[in-house]
């Protein structure tokens, strides 16, 4: 592996939220020094080569079959004579610093290939750790980069494929909260950590601290696991496609769909960089 590209664990690049505010600016400068900006043109060549390998991989082929199956399941629940369900928009949140992180690079290659495969015209990305070169790369790929941290609170006003690989529970929880009505939630096609695995990971009372909406919607959604036979380990492990067909939702239960205040989380958990913290980092 070349000197310009070194593997970083997700904990290292996201944990700086928990750093003491007095030392955060110095820490960020050290982080930038450890990983200098890449040459964008050279990186694009590397990314193009990886995308070609990704499209030829068994993992990608099977993942596309699974996604098509999820679309068919949604189609079977919509009204007769309605247009077939295909994503109109791609929203990718929390993918990570893909010029500095091996896992994030492969995940980016996957979702770019997925966008091309299904001819999704609109693609929107955000991660608070993106640096300027990463934003420039995405813009060269005709993708939009959010300028503000929405913390996962993004409404699906059209059929939207959300890609949140290995992201904190609170990000997915916020996404569900912001789409907590049948007309919106039925537009959500979500690739992220398996809800089933999450539900078995710890006691419910602890899960409800950052995953209450995930637990509440589980009985009314469908999960299609993405079998991980990728050539590189720990890239796509424990990911699933989650859909919420309108026919399975509790349409007649008004209390279930009552919109509550936005979820709040423990500021000390270090899991998600909040909009407030992102603003402070941007100013710094």
170 by Cβ neighbours in 10 Å (0-12 / 13-18 / 19+) ranks as buried
Report CA-CA distances (Å) from 139 to 109, 114, 235: 15, 17, 24
Is residue 16 in some structural domain? no
Is residue 158 in some structural domain? yes
Is residue 185 in some structural domain? yes
Cβ atoms of 211 and 187 within 8 Å: the answer is no
Nearest to 264 by CA among 165, 154, 177: 177
pLDDT of residue 83: 63
Residue 88's contacts (CB-CB under 8 Å, 6 or more residues apart) are: 120, 121, 122, 158, 159, 160
Is residue 22 in some structural domain? no
Q: pLDDT digit of tens for each residue in the chain (284 aa)?
A: 443 444 443 333 333 333 333 333 333 444 444 678 899 999 999 999 999 999 999 999 999 999 999 999 998 765 555 667 799 999 999 999 999 999 999 999 999 999 999 999 999 999 999 999 999 999 999 999 999 998 999 999 999 999 999 999 999 999 999 999 999 999 999 999 999 999 999 999 999 999 999 999 999 999 999 999 999 999 999 999 999 999 999 888 999 999 889 999 986 554 555 555 544 444 44
Is residue 19 in some structural domain? no
Cβ atoms of 151 and 178 within 8 Å: the answer is no
Host H or E run for residue 160: strand 160-164
Supply 130's token pair: 């993106």
Is residue 257 in some structural domain? yes
Is residue 205 in some structural domain? yes
Question: CATH number for the domain including 93?
Answer: 3.40.50
Burial 18-27 (b: 16+ CB within 10 A, else e): eeeeeebeee
**Coil, helix or strand for 166?**
coil
Is residue 196 in some structural domain? yes
For residue 81, the enclosing domain spans: 37-283
Q: Report d(CA 146, CA 163) in Å as an integer.
A: 15
Number of domains in the chain: 1
Residue 282's contacts (CB-CB under 8 Å, 6 or more residues apart) are: none
**Coil, helix or strand for 54?**
helix
């Amino acid at each position: 592996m070349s000197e310009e590209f070194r593997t970083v664990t997700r904990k290292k690049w996201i944990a700086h939220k928990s750093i003491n505010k007095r030392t955060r600016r110095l820490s960020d400068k050290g982080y930038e020094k450890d990983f200098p900006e890449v040459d964008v043109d050279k990186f694009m060549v590397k990314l193009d080569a990886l995308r070609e390998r990704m499209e030829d991989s068994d993992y990608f082929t099977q993942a596309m079959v699974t996604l098509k199956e999820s679309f068919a399941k949604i189609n079977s629940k919509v009204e007769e004579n309605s247009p077939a369900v295909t994503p109109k928009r791609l929203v990718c949140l929390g993918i990570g610093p893909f010029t500095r992180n091996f896992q994030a690079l492969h995940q980016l290659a996957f979702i770019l290939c997925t966008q091309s495969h299904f001819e999704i015209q609109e693609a929107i990305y955000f991660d608070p750790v993106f640096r300027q070169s990463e934003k420039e790369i995405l813009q060269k790929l005709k993708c939009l980069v959010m300028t503000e941290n929405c913390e996962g609170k993004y409404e699906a006003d059209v059929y939207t494929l959300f890609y949140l690989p290995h992201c904190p529970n609170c990000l997915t929880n916020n996404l569900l909260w912001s789409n907590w009505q049948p007309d919106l939630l039925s537009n959500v096609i979500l690739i992220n950590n398996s809800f089933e695995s999450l539900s078995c990971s710890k006691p419910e009372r602890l899960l409800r601290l950052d995953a209450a909406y995930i637990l509440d919607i589980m009985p009314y959604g469908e999960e299609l696991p993405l079998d991980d036979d990728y050539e590189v380990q720990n890239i796509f492990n424990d990911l699933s496609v989650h859909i919420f067909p309108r026919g399975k939702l509790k349409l007649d239960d008004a209390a279930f769909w009552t919109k509550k205040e936005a979820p709040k989380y423990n500021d000390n958990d270090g899991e998600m960089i909040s909009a407030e913290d992102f603003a402070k980092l941007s100013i710094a």
